[in-house]
Amino acid sequence: MKITTADRFYVTTPIYYVNGIPHIGHAYTTILADVLTRYHRLFGKPAYFLTGTDEHGLKIQQAADTAGMGPKAYCDSMVGNFMELWERLGIRYDRFIRTTDDDHIAYVQEILQRLWEAGEIYSSPYQGWYCIPDERFWTEKDLVEGNCPECGRPVIELEEENYFFKMGSYREWLVEHIEANPDFIFPVTRKNEVLGFLRQGLADLCISRPKSRLEWGIPLPFDSKYVTYVWFDALLNYVSAVAETAGPGGEENWWPADLHLIGKDIVTTHCVYWPTMLKAADLPLPKRIAAHGWWLVEEEKMSKSRGNVVRPLDLAQQYGVDAFRYFLMKDMTLGQDRSFSEVDLVRRYNSDLANDLGNALSRVTKMVQRYRGGLLNPPDGLDEAPEAEMKEVATRVKESVPDAIGALEVSRAVDEVMELVRATNRYLESREPWQLAKDEQKGNLLDATLYTAAESLRLAGVLLSPVMPAKMTELLAQLGITLEEAGGDYESLTAWGVLAAGGSVPGGDSLFPRAELPEDLQD
């Protein structure tokens, strides 16, 4: 079997600004990281999944002021919004890093000191235009009609002495690295965007903020009158989180990351600032940075200020956590934008989960109950064309899922498995076990049919378990098996014939009862 991914899998999400309220965009990235982690573990790869919160900088300080709290107390009061939501959405990370964690702060200072001593950082007067919400300096030519080119909001003019990282000196090296490693930036449109950006030249990066203007940050180790620019601090979370284990060699050495998942609005910081910082600090680069598109609401980006935020928990409560996860994974193609619609979610739920998967399971378990007293009899040497065909589909699917996941095509991976489910339904229609049950002579064929269908659904359950962990555990339980019982490695989990002879198939409640559209969405 071919698994195209690296031997170990270290995946990260962006660390979210702690003052925001998590919406479907944040939930999407974090669920995606969780799903990819679970797939890699299923394939037998050790995996590490990092997420967390970005807690320094002017925006947070201002939000804390507005709330009438100290910045750390404010962050402490907000971080639970993320942790609780991730818990409710079935997300199991290995570490939740906060940039106010002591080990992170110490690590950032260590890197700053190292770069300072290596002459990679210098001090110089600075004049520029500053966007407060984005915390970014722009040059005059960057501005669009006098406003921030990224968010369109007004900028303010600032002049002060600051510290700079010699980012510009890495321009050619970075262009070469991106060109020599076509997988480094995904998808290719983002790669071209970064190369286009680099072609215009690359300035040095201002990495300090005077404390007189901003106090809430990590003090520069070599000048305590300054704090660290929030992006310089935040990006380092990806290494600091695993720094304790980042010694040379050994199983515990997680850095470099195999995959940084980011949104398309933070490509420059991740694909330009971050690799140059690592290079200067003599650290290896992440293997891949994948930028996804936005979840839009009526063609607009979701944001607190537009008041069009889709709340993940409401949807998960209404339709179930796993159905929500399934919808996000199935309906988003990594890299593209996608309009969110609850109507689409309900349609997807009813067609794939209620009709195809849920129905197949309840048909099979009910027939085993009705015709075989709840016990599965493996067929006696019977292997005709329809059964052979089902096995073929099963083999194809278990081989293509790792390929699709390695290529970051989760939607395709899910599709492949659903094809197995649909093939199972077609197989049942063609064998008509309800007719076979009427004829005692056909007992062996009935056994073969029920076994083949149950085994296909078991495999579908295994292969969908990273996307819908709780529901697929339930599916397997209805077939009388657990993931653990099916064997340790991917080969044995996905081998044909795991369901035991004479095994009991307890069945149970409908896995995905049909969903109704809320009244206000019905037309």
> Using the 8-state DSSP alphabet, how is residue 202 labeled?
-
Task: State yes or no: residue 14 binds ligand MSP (CB under 6 A).
Answer: yes
Residue with the shortest CB distance to ligand MSP: 263
Using CB under 6 A, pick the residue from 5, 9, 11, 20 that binds ligand MSP: 20
Q: Nearer Cβ to ligand MSP, position 67 or 517?
A: 67
In degrees, rounded to 5, the angle at the alpha carbon of residue 459 between the alpha carbons of residues 484 and 490 is: 55
Using CB under 6 A, pick the residue from 90, 217, 256, 263 that binds ligand MSP: 263
CA dist., res. 476 & res. 482, Å (int): 6
CB 42 within 8 A of CB 490: yes
Among left, alpha and beta (phi > 0; psi -120 to 50; other), residue 282 is left
Strand pairing class (156-165; 121-131): antiparallel
Question: In the complex, what is the shortest distance from the CB of residue 132 to ligand MSP, in angstroms, rounded to a whole number?
Answer: 14
Residue 4 burial class via C-beta count within 10 angstroms: exposed 0-12, middle 13-18, buried 19 and up: exposed
Binders of ligand MSP among 206-235, rule CB under 6 A? 234-235
The 237-256 contact track toward ligand MSP, x by CB under 6 A, reads: x-------------------
CA dist., res. 232 & res. 274, Å (int): 8
Question: In the complex, what is the shortest distance from the CB of residue 504 to ligand MSP, in angstroms, rounded to a whole number?
Answer: 45
Using CB under 6 A, pick the residue from 42, 178, 262, 511 that binds ligand MSP: 262
Q: Nearer Cβ to ligand MSP, position 97 or 462?
A: 97
Look up residue 351 and give its amino acid: S
Task: State yes or no: residue 28 binds ligand MSP (CB under 6 A).
Answer: yes
Q: Nearer Cβ to ligand MSP, position 31 or 357?
A: 31
Question: In the complex, what is the shortest distance from the CB of residue 29 to ligand MSP, in angstroms, rounded to a whole number?
Answer: 6
Question: In the complex, what is the shortest distance from the CB of residue 197 to ligand MSP, in angstroms, rounded to a whole number?
Answer: 17
DSSP 361-412: HHHHHHHHHHHHTTB----SS---HHHHHHHHHHHHHHHHHHHHHHTT-HHH
Binders of ligand MSP among 40-99, rule CB under 6 A? 54
Instruction: Name the segment binding ligand MSP (CB under 6 A); options: 23-31, 154-162, 313-321, 363-371.
Output: 23-31
Q: How many residues bind ligand MSP (CB under 6 A)?
A: 20
Q: Nearer Cβ to ligand MSP, position 138 or 340?
A: 340
Question: In the complex, what is the shortest distance from the CB of residue 16 to ligand MSP, in angstroms, rounded to a whole number?
Answer: 4
> Which two structure tokens, joined as six digits, stand for 141?
């030519």
Question: In the complex, what is the shortest distance from the CB of residue 319 to ligand MSP, in angstroms, rounded to a whole number?
Answer: 19
Using CB under 6 A, pick the residue from 89, 131, 266, 476 that binds ligand MSP: 266
Q: Nearer Cβ to ligand MSP, position 20 or 320?
A: 20
CB 450 within 8 A of CB 479: no
Q: Nearer Cβ to ligand MSP, position 233 or 455?
A: 233
In degrees, rounded to 5, the angle at the alpha carbon of residue 383 between the alpha carbons of residues 378 and 387 is: 85
The 179-208 contact track toward ligand MSP, x by CB under 6 A, reads: ------------------------------
Identify which of 268, 304, 19 has the alpha carbon closest to the alpha carbon of residue 137.
268
Task: State yes or no: residue 271 binds ligand MSP (CB under 6 A).
Answer: no
Neighbours of 20 (CB within 10 A): 19
Q: Nearer Cβ to ligand MSP, position 82 or 451?
A: 82
Identify which of 495, 465, 468, 471 has the alpha carbon closest to the alpha carbon of residue 483.
465
Question: In the complex, what is the shortest distance from the CB of residue 318 to ligand MSP, in angstroms, rounded to a whole number?
Answer: 20
Question: In the complex, what is the shortest distance from the CB of residue 111 to ligand MSP, in angstroms, rounded to a whole number?
Answer: 14
CA atoms within 13 A on the CB side of 337: 11
Residue 348 burial class via C-beta count within 10 angstroms: exposed 0-12, middle 13-18, buried 19 and up: middle
Question: In the complex, what is the shortest distance from the CB of residue 213 to ligand MSP, in angstroms, rounded to a whole number?
Answer: 20
Question: In the complex, what is the shortest distance from the CB of residue 401 to ligand MSP, in angstroms, rounded to a whole number?
Answer: 25
Using CB under 6 A, pick the residue from 3, 17, 281, 333 that binds ligand MSP: 17
Task: State yes or no: residue 26 binds ligand MSP (CB under 6 A).
Answer: yes
Question: In the complex, what is the shortest distance from the CB of residue 225 to ligand MSP, in angstroms, rounded to a whole number?
Answer: 25
Question: In the complex, what is the shortest distance from the CB of residue 173 to ligand MSP, in angstroms, rounded to a whole number?
Answer: 22
Neighbours of 100 (CB within 10 A): 20
CA dist., res. 187 & res. 14, Å (int): 17
CA dist., res. 88 & res. 141, Å (int): 46
Q: Nearer Cβ to ligand MSP, position 233 or 387?
A: 233
The 274-313 contact track toward ligand MSP, x by CB under 6 A, reads: --------------------xx-----xx-----------
In degrees, rounded to 5, the angle at the alpha carbon of residue 117 between the alpha carbons of residues 113 and 121 is: 80
Collapsed DSSP state (helix, strand, coil) of residue 9:
strand
Using CB under 6 A, pick the residue from 11, 25, 364, 494 that binds ligand MSP: 25
Residues with Cβ < 8 Å from 194, sequence gap 6 or more?
178, 185, 267, 268, 271, 272
- For residue 182, give Cα distances in angstroms to 164, 171, 190, 298: 30, 17, 11, 34
Using CB under 6 A, pick the residue from 5, 9, 11, 16 that binds ligand MSP: 16
Question: In the complex, what is the shortest distance from the CB of residue 53 to ligand MSP, in angstroms, rounded to a whole number?
Answer: 8
CA atoms within 13 A on the CB side of 277: 25
User: Where on the chain is the footprint of ligand MSP (CB under 6 A)?
Assistant: 14-17, 20, 25-26, 28, 54, 234-235, 237, 262-263, 265-266, 294-295, 301-302
